[in-house]
Homo-oligomer: A and B are copies of this chain.
Amino acid sequence: MAEPLRIALAGLGTVGAGVIRLIETNAALIARRAGRPIVITTISARDRSKKRGVDLSPYAWEDDMIVLAERPDVDVVVELVGGSDGPALACARTTIESGKAFVTANKAMIAHHGLELAAKAEAAKVALKFEAAVAGGIPVIKGLREGAAANAFERVYGILNGTCNFILSTMEDTGRDFADVLSEAQARGYAEADPTFDIEGTDAAHKLSILAAIAFGAQVDFASVDTSGIARLRAADIAQADSLGYVIRLIGVAEPDWADGQCRLFQRVQPHLVPFDHPLAHVDGATNAVVAEGNFSGRLLFQGAGAGDGPTASAVVADLIDIARGEIGAPFSVPVTELEALPPAPSGHRRGRAYIRFIVADRPGVLAEITAAMRDAGVSIESLIQKGRAGQDGEVLVAMVTHEGPESAVTEALRLLDGSPSLAQPPLVMQLLGN
């Protein structure tokens, strides 16, 4: 059997400990499948003495991630520190510049600096892999980059954040409100103490921008993802959606948008209404799922655990097995120099159906005011429900679903209502996910 592939591990949180456990537990089968053993030689983390449930004594220790990346007895550095810049990025640059392969679960860094790192890796002819950065244990980057590589993709979309999906499906099951369920998610370890990145959609947007680059041969453009989160959702929205035949899920969508002979890239993360008969409507708890629509494959669905030490370690080690087998390849499927700089697509001309929810003052004439604005902007209303008290002082919930029309019309209607004293808070708009 060939020489072992020697791994250095930077970062020893739950995922790092998971990678150690996986490589130890499955050592024999990994060696058989990879054609050579995969062994951890060196480890670096902030605190050497912290209890992690794994025995670190077989491994050399480096306090400094940069020194780790430069060690001559290391073939691949696995970075599990996190953070888009700082030590993680310095470690990535040093690793690649030292001619070593680099594997990471760091979605923020790849979303912000993936192109620079891929260009460096291609120049150095070393592997840069980040399967674990998107959708945890689901091999979706491999699915797009290789399994469905024969296709032009028409759309890629999915549930990319397990925390949000846990919160939404728990709100659905229990009828409880957002803040309440968030607290539970934090207590159960499904949400961070500071949940901002998750609940505001930033984490999903990081992942979406990576998927979009691979699917559409475009430069990663995280800054252009139109992102909104789930914090404004109420139990009443979930109940309304249910009565209309939908569940609410935070969906990231990316698709090429052709107009006037120019291709633009549309990227959005937003809560959507998903019809009961869509596969994503049955994705519950902390699960992730990605749909890729290829021009020959049709709709492909990849589903599994979106986070957690085991699933994330599974994705990290899949990358290591690829490297052990000699698979290097372009990190974004095509060489960085061939990735197109697609301008962001505006959403106004997109056609679809929308759910619009208002919290309004409980007084006569409000409904007439809202429906007049819709009429004036050319928004056609399919159904409308006005729900007694929404639980707070004198507030009433008005929820409507529109017929299909341009998103610009809804924007215009809301502009007409902007500043109206009838509205107790800004309206909430969610798209209905089309089939």
Contact = CB atoms under 8 A, between A and B. Distances in A.
B150 A26 contact: yes
Given A26-B151, A147-B142, A334-B32, A137 B304 contact: no
A152 B26 contact: yes
Interface of A: 18, 22, 25-26, 29-30, 32-35, 131, 137-139, 142-143, 145-152, 217, 279, 282, 289, 294-305, 308, 310-311, 313-318, 320-322, 325-327, 329-330, 333-334, 338
A308 B297 CA distance: 9
B308 A298 contact: yes
B322 A22 contact: no
Q: How many copies of this chain are found per oligomer?
A: 2
Nearest to A308: B298
A30 B150 CA distance: 6
A147 to B, nearest CB: 2
Contacts of A329: 325
Nearest to A28: B152
Contact of A303 (B25, B142, B279, B320): B279
Contacts of A317: 149-150, 296
Nearest to A21: B296
5 contacts: A26-B296, A137-B298, A298-B308, A300-B303, A327-B327
Nearest to A141: B147
Contacts of A333: 33
Contacts of A327: 325, 327
Contacts of A147: 131, 139, 142-143, 147, 318
A401 B294 CA distance: 42
Contacts of A279: 279, 282, 303
A314 B148 contact: yes
A314 B150 contact: yes
A302 B305 contact: no
A131 B325 CA distance: 19
Nearest to A325: B329
A150 B313 contact: yes
A296 B22 contact: yes
A297 B149 CA distance: 23
A301 to B, nearest CB: 4
